[in-house]
Structure 1
Amino acid sequence: MKITPTFPELSCYLLPGHTTTPAEAIEEAKQAEALGLGKVWLSERFDVKDAGVICAAALAVTNCIHVATAGTNIHTRHLMILATMCSSLHHLSNGRFELGLARGVAIRNQLMGLKNVNNAQLAEGVELLRRLLKGEKIIGHDGLMGNYPYLNMGDWLDARLPIHFVGFGPKSLRFAGKHFDGVHLHTFVTDHGLRRAKQFIQEGAEQAGRPTSDIKLHAVYATALNLTEEDYLTKLVARMATYMQAPGYIEMLIELNEWDPEVLTAFRANDLVKSMAGGIDSVATLEQLDQISQLIPSEWLPAATGNAESCAQAWQNQFANGADGLVIHGSTPSEFAPIIQAYAALPR
């Protein structure tokens, strides 16, 4: 008998943020399933958070919850290798794997010796990936994603799975509405930004002649039950500060939320920020985070905080502003479990 999650609209991250203990994803996946969540997402990092490995572990120890990347990149694996990872996870789990794709961060691409991926390349890559997952042969392809004389994983293969776009810029969201099955947003999107995101996705879908209801919007919402000062600094300030460090990254979020870009200019010009030898969420002390917090307006840190009831109402508000799914970010299942109980008690 197929088990249906109690809250299919709710999901969370495995290993939220920086980690040195990837085995914790196993217990987190089991806990998320026990709480009735419909999905868990993994944000890949190039240290101990390989997407294929962690997703396989999570799928192997669960029965009904879906496991998705949010995201991995279209170009850090050869297309055939990426397709093989997807089909393997799909068949391993009886169809519970979903793929979230991103173009990658420009500065990281440069450091790794990779070229940046534009929308036209990503659209071509997704189309080729879908064809491979359906068992099609790709012969003599010479296009934007590269030269592929012959690609095929077997005529018998039929591993159709949802492919989500992981991104948040207005132009990117319109693009996602044309080509993807879903959109996974970013932490710290405001209510205003969420409504705009929905509008942009629908515009893209309409331009492509697709039903707007076919593209599911997953809002990512930072959550910290009974927020302490240390939690505020490590779970909210440190995360936003790290996003603000990366050139060409946070600018899209500022555009979506229609924030003042001068805040970012002042942040990057700050001597303490410039002295950070690595991601702020990985290297900054609490004292340094306290100083950095003065550079980030409170309205740049929208999150579910307070008691369980307040957090549950904040979750529900995301759906009122256009979300189809909610991704709980910054908290593990054991930390947000009381909010699930409060959420279940809310009128639908």
Structure 2
Amino acid sequence: MTAEDTTGVAAAPLMPELACYGLAGHSAAPADLLTEAARAEELGLGSILLSERFALKDAGVMAGAAVAASSRIGIGTAATNHNTRHPLVAATMATTLHRMSGGRYAFGLGRGIPLLFDIMGLPHVTSAQLADAIGIYRTLWRGGAVAGHNGPAGTYPYLVQDASFDEDIPILLMAMGDNSLRLAGRLADGVVMHTFMSDAAVERSARLVRESAEKAGRDPASVRIWSVMATIEDSLDEAARLRKLAGRLATYLTGYGDVLVRVNGWDPAGLESFRSDERLAAHGGALDATDDLDILRHARDVLPDEWLDCAAVGSPSHCADRIEAQLALGADSVVLHGATPDELAPVLDAWRPRRDPTRFAQLDPNPGRFLSRKDTPS
């Protein structure tokens, strides 16, 4: 698969086993996504994922921009939440992006952060709600109507899009806990794990997804599994490296540290030390958005080395080694998280000559799909 970029230079063949995030972390300049999506495609990344934040990162707007700035790369919402949009609005967003992209789009859902939902006045997301919402979306995408619905996702007298629809839109689930992983195995086309998961957690998570799929009567290999690995190549300056490593992990621990510690089997004492640290507690704002070297260095010293070692940090060759290791743990594909396409370029250069294209021939650029889709849930 070859193409030319906007300059007329031959773009690299896509590597569908790899993805990046667009506008990774915080961004005050959403227009940067136009450049990032085009550059990701030019460099050969298979897909670009887009996480929603309630400031300048609306899922539908970002996905539309990524579609417009690209022609080959897959695009996935990873993730939005079903409880922030009416199901007909969410289904319409997905069908619009699906048609606009020529089938390159995957619709991703996650549980979100309970504390944020409390502040917003929204109910916490449950597995039952997700399953119910997914059923509604798929009914609408197949051209069906939802009449007199009263279920976990809400009460809806009548929902319909277009009776002629027969849209094959993959659904991604963002999963970290066991319930989410098992739900993904039962219902989803693809699952995206969380950043800073240990090797043991990645391997166990992949196994839970496959086992759940098999129990649901699906081919265990029909669910596309993405690991998510913070990737920090050593040519970045110290502030950027620390922000993407210690700063990013600290931000996650602030939002849902108990879950991340439990999933990884980490010692809870490390989380207690982090939470009780006076300097970190006094810092205003997210640590993954600061350039304060002193506080970032302090966060690195407070966080256990074992936790930070979940990231790929170092030379391009070492980062490529870590990609191979993630695949060996049971993932089909790897999201290189927290870096722009240009920051990932040296890693992609190191990975490309060692990959066997036939090994990934079954992967579609669409991040929620294999080239031969099997056992799509109804």
1:158 CA drift (Å): 2.2
Q: How many residues align?
A: 346
In structure 1, C-alpha distance between the alignment counterparts of 2:205 and 2:116, rounded to whole Å: 25
Tell me if the contact between 2:148 and 2:155 (Cα under 8 Å) persists in the aligned partners: yes
Tell me if the contact between 2:192 and 2:227 (Cα under 8 Å) persists in the aligned partners: yes
| Alignment correspondent of 2:68 | 60
1:284 CA drift (Å): 7.0
Answering whether residue 214 of structure 2 is matched by residue 206 of structure 1, we say yes
| Alignment correspondent of 2:287 | 280
1:254 CA drift (Å): 1.8
Tell me if the contact between 2:34 and 2:66 (Cα under 8 Å) persists in the aligned partners: yes
CA distance 1:93–1:127, shift in 2 (3 Å): same
Answering whether residue 320 of structure 2 is matched by residue 312 of structure 1, we say yes
SS at match of 1:267: helix
CA distance 1:12–1:49, shift in 2 (3 Å): same
SS at match of 1:343: helix
Answering whether residue 339 of structure 2 is matched by residue 331 of structure 1, we say yes
| Alignment correspondent of 1:88 | 96
SS at match of 2:209: helix
After TM superposition, the structure 1 stretch with the greater mean CA deviation from structure 2, 215-224 or 292-301, is: 292-301
| Alignment correspondent of 1:233 | 242
TM-score computed with the length of structure 2 as normaliser: 0.88
Q: Which runs of 5+ in 2 are unaligned?
A: 4-11, 357-378
SS at match of 1:75: helix
SS at match of 1:221: strand
| Alignment correspondent of 1:18 | 26
After TM superposition, the structure 1 stretch with the greater mean CA deviation from structure 2, 275-284 or 109-118, is: 275-284
CA distance 1:339–1:2, shift in 2 (3 Å): closer
Identity in percent = 41
Tell me if the contact between 2:243 and 2:290 (Cα under 8 Å) persists in the aligned partners: no
Higher relative contact order (CA 8 A, sep 6+): 2
Tell me if the contact between 2:226 and 2:332 (Cα under 8 Å) persists in the aligned partners: yes
In structure 2, C-alpha distance between the alignment counterparts of 1:321 and 1:173, rounded to whole Å: 16
| Alignment correspondent of 1:271 | 278
Alpha-carbon RMSD across the aligned residues, in angstroms, is 1.7
In structure 1, C-alpha distance between the alignment counterparts of 2:28 and 2:237, rounded to whole Å: 23
In structure 2, C-alpha distance between the alignment counterparts of 1:347 and 1:66, rounded to whole Å: 20
| Alignment correspondent of 2:132 | 124
Tell me if the contact between 1:277 and 1:283 (Cα under 8 Å) persists in the aligned partners: no
Answering whether residue 309 of structure 2 is matched by residue 292 of structure 1, we say no
In structure 1, C-alpha distance between the alignment counterparts of 2:290 and 2:231, rounded to whole Å: 22
* Counterpart code for 1:25: L
TM-score computed with the length of structure 1 as normaliser: 0.95
- For residues 17-166 of structure 1, the aligned pairs below 5 Å read 17-166=25-174
1:340 CA drift (Å): 1.2
SS at match of 1:273: helix
In structure 1, C-alpha distance between the alignment counterparts of 2:264 and 2:340, rounded to whole Å: 26
